[in-house]
Amino acid sequence: MQEGKVRNMSELYMMVTITDRKLTKKFVEFYQQEKLEVSVATVGAGTAASEILDYFGLEGTEKVVLFHVVTDDTWKRVKLSLQRKMKIDIPGVGIAFLIPLSSIGGKKALNYLTCGQEFVKGEETSLKETKYELLVVIANQGYTDQVMDAARKVHAAGGTVIHAKGTGTKEAEKFLGVTLVPEKEMLFIVVKSSQKNEIMRAIMDKAGLESKAKSIVFSLPVTDTAGMRLMEEIEE
């Protein structure tokens, strides 16, 4: 199988966990015990109204957002552990949810992100037959310009950068054959589905694992958009 191939997914998901920043270590260790070594974490802040915070037992404190790639079977197991071990259903602990993946750039990236999880590629679902997709690029800190330069050469628009920290560097050596530094940047780019594969391949070729950027790229389906009309008019 060619490394530069963009692989379509049907039973893989990006699992997003949002919890109090003070619980970061506890959740990271929990996920590692659940054999989910590879993750990317970034920080945020809650914006809910005070009455909502009171209702859920939350405080307006800093949050941490953890990203993992999981299979359907892994999610079922981890969800049960989140409820039993982490007591995630108790107000104030946090939330976790899934977003379906539509494709991942390259076999090495697939193996790294799934990190030993058993996975058999199935058929595409109708949800992934969308007009737009969100490309998520995880790159070494300081190399987002290199990623965007590659994407723009094949007509991608701008992206949004989020500073993050990666875990699972030992697993990186096992699955990728390279060492990844913890300091990361996540780049979000909304693209037309018809251009997705070309843009992903350009990023993999110019800013992929063989470059200093060490980028990994995958895509998520977007069911609808607003604010993209100018891009559509230019393309037409």
**62-72 pLDDT per residue, tens:** 889 999 999 99
Q: Answer whether 38's CB lies under 8 Å from 115's CB.
A: yes
Alpha-carbon distance values, 25 to 38, 103, 122 (Å): 14, 30, 35
The whole-number pLDDT of residue 230 equals: 59
173 vs 67, more confident: 67
- β-bridge partners, 14: 69, 99
pLDDT at 9: 63
pLDDT digits (tens, 9 = 90+) for 104-158: 999 889 888 988 788 766 555 545 568 899 999 999 999 999 999 999 999 898 8
27 by Cβ neighbours in 10 Å (0-12 / 13-18 / 19+) ranks as buried
Mean pLDDT over all residues of the chain?
85
Local confidence band at 2 (pLDDT 50, 70, 90 cut-offs)? very low
